[in-house]
Structure 1
Amino acid sequence: MQHRKASWKQVTGLAGIEGHWLRRKHFTPQLLAQVAEHIGQSEAGHSGELMLAIEAVSPRHEPDSRLRALEVFGRLRVWDTPLDTGVLLYLALDKHHIHIVADRGVTASDDLWQAVCERLQERLKRKDYGPGLLAAIEDIEEILSSHCPPLPLDGDQANNLPDAPVML
């Protein structure tokens, strides 16, 4: 399992309130619908499957956002794809952390995932939330298209993970 992280801002004492505010202001139902459509369309060319999880406030039981990303990867069953090609893009809004967790069937290097995190981190620092998130999804889908097994020739393109972002 591969894992990459980036942080776009230092955490302040009001991180939880800020996390809720960021989610409400920038991750609107319209953007989330656009993201879901974008994920669904881009997954048509490869066996990789992307899931986006956005958490406004990190739970107290797991203060380490890297470990929380791994927990979310398991709880959302991102690992449960036929070819082990699930990828989680996890945003911890209160901590300003970004993590990508990829299952073992995705043969991409850690450097590729880190580059995606860093580009998204820069976009979020500039408050370019919607376009930055969509660009990161495009980057991830490009990686998946070149580092995942092709779709089966029988045309069976089962979508095993939901395309809609999960709000935690």
Structure 2
Amino acid sequence: MNFSRWAKHLFMPSWAWRRAFPHAALDAIEAAIRQSESRHNGEIRFAIETSLAPAQVWRGMSGRERAIDVFSNLRVWDTEHNSGVLIYLLLADHDIEIVADRGIAAQVEQSAWESVARAMEAAFRQGEFERGALTGIEQVSALLAAHVPPRSSNPNELANRPVIIRS
């Protein structure tokens, strides 16, 4: 067990996400997702979690493991063409995870998702959280447009509003 990580999660204020993502930033992220989904047949969800619950940290849950849980809980997998993508931020760990459903994961290399995460991290390190989020959405959208172009019927299957997860 990593006591430093445990303390970081335990003492991270639950409202810390607001410093990085005020309501105007959440609105911009929602608008970017809505606009991007007209260019492809994928669905994007954006989730922000300030910290993990103490028991999750105690068990050694990684950001990737938590992102997969969130992917499932938000039902990102439940799209007609299995083309949902979750962009997950775990603020206490400074972690960005991108989880793609099997329909798109079979077509896009993991290294492409990791490249998107690195671009987001670069902006976040400069304190530009909104720009980093929008960059990530744009790059995920470009990957989706290349692999799952829009069809005549392209319903919005998942909510576009970023979700704030409170542990």
TM normalised by structure 2 equals 0.86
* Alpha-carbon distance between aligned partners in 2 of 1:60 and 1:160, rounded to the nearest angstrom: 33
Gaps of 5+ in 1: 1-9
Matched residue, 2:150: 151
Match of 2:138 in 1: 138
Q: How does 1:6-21 map to 2 (within 5 A)?
A: 11=5, 13-18=7-12, 20=14
What residue in structure 2 maps to residue 118 of structure 1? 118
Trace 1:1-168 onto structure 2 (pairs within 5 A).
11=5, 13-18=7-12, 20=14, 22-62=16-56, 63-106=61-104, 107-148=107-148, 150-153=149-152, 156-168=153-165
Change (3 A) 1:127 1:20: farther
Q: Which runs of 5+ in 2 are unaligned?
A: none
Q: 1:84 to 1:66 in 2, by over 3 A?
A: same
Q: Distance between the aligned counterparts of 2:115 and 2:142, measured in 1? A: 13
Deviations 1:10-32 (A, max 9, x none): 95834454464541212111110
Number of equivalences: 156
Query: By how many angstroms is 1:95 displaced?
Result: 1.1
Q: For 1:13, give the aligned amino acid.
A: A
1:99 partner letter: E
Contact 1:16 1:56 in 2 (8 A): no
1:19, 1:68 → 2: CA distance? 19
Cα 1:105–1:19, aligned 2, differ >3 Å: closer, same or farther? farther
TM-score norm. by structure 1 comes to 0.85
